Amino acid sequence: MSETSPNLELPYLMPDQAQKHVTHNEALQRLDALTQIILADLLPAPPANPAEGACYAVIAPATGSWQGRAGQIACLIDGDWTFFSARPGWIAWSLAGRRPVWFDGSAWQPLPLPSPLVQDMLGAGATPDTTNRLAISSEASLFNHRGAGHQLKINRADEQATASLLYQTGFSGRAEFGLFGNANFGLKMSPDGTAWKNAIQIETNGLVRLPARPLCRTHLNAQTASPANGTVSGFQSFSVNQGGFQLAGDLAPGPGLKLVVPASGLYRLTLSLLALTSTGHGATVLLNGAVALLNLRGNGALASIGQSMSTMVALNGGDTLHIQHSGVAQVDFGPGKTELMAEFLP
């Protein structure tokens, strides 16, 4: 009959054995060390200040008092190192690595996860839910290559669904880009997570649109008139209006309304004027009724010939623009004739 058990090599109490308590205590020590194995760390040499009862996996190249013990388990029992031989397939918990490890017959290895691993929910520092089945709370997330390139894929069920990246502040949406219910790629912005504006739209043919970019063509309704020297005129209609331009503020006795700038930034202004008859005429675009932004001048020889002039200016949201006339001329108003164009410059 063997004197030890076949798996943990626990010493048996033998007939007529003296000091049986010694053998019994040795067996208890082995059980205490090897049952529910907890490895403080995987080290090649004894640590500086080990705790009583602490166990370590001895890894190569073992040195010091652990020399020649690579692959074994060292436990501090009664102030001395006691060594146990691990068997292939043993599983332990590594406190330092915060993961399970297993003994392959020569060394301790990280316990592999099942392949393939399919989880209904997964959280890393965060709690997932039925909508956010993968939740990560971390300073950063790394998606690395394996020798070549790397793709992050976001797939949607069909063209009417959404496939996007949403950026939030306090879990309230502020920016989102991706595919929104059609084939076009877009970027939209929100100040509060509720009201959204499309900033960029890229069509499948590569055409880029800026739906929120302020730009307009504005004019009086089609008519001819002879504004007196020093009088003003505004605008009644838009041929093009995008990005929030408005007409407001009566210019009476001059016809039309002021053009209200929707957002602060740099603008290109183009004034076009068509004089049917003239003995010398001019038109000035006024900012807030006081500051001349551009001056267009003509003479009688330029009658019935369209003129235009452009400038680039910095405007603030809420600024107003209108036209002041000078000289004597019969002016043809309307789209493509006498009008003002304003274009926000990105």
pLDDT in tens, 48-60: 889 888 889 999 9
Q: How is 248-304 classified by DSSP, letter by letter?
A: EEE-TTSSSEEEEP-S-EEEEEEEEEEEEEEEEEEEEEEETTTEEEEEEEE-GGGTT
The answer to whether 267 and 312 have CB atoms below 8 angstroms apart is: yes
What is the predicted pLDDT for the residue at 306?
87
Q: Which of 241, 231, 236, 232 is nearest to 219 (CA)?
A: 236
- State how far the alpha carbon of 138 is from the alpha carbons of 126, 135, 143, 179, 303, in Å: 9, 10, 14, 27, 71
Mean pLDDT of 207-226: 96
pLDDT at residue 33 greater than cutoff 70: no
313-339 pLDDT, tens per residue? 999 999 999 999 999 899 999 999 999
Element (H, E) at 34: helix 20-34
Length of the chain: 346
Model confidence pTM above 0.75: no
Torsion angle defined by CA atoms of residues 91, 93, 99 and 103, in that order, rounded to the nearest 10 degrees: -30
d(CA 58, CA 83): 9
Element (H, E) at 86: none
Mean pLDDT of 156-170: 97
88's tokens: 């292939």
Q: Identify the residue whose tokens are 């599983």.
A: 91
pLDDT at residue 153 greater than cutoff 90: yes
Amino acid at 72: Q
> Phi first, then psi: what are they for 74, rounded to 5°?
-105, 125
- The residues, any chain, with a CB within 8 Å of residue 258's CB and separated by 6 or more, are 234, 235, 247, 248, 249, 251, 320, 321, 322
pLDDT, greater one: 132 or 9: 132
Mean pLDDT of 27-49: 76
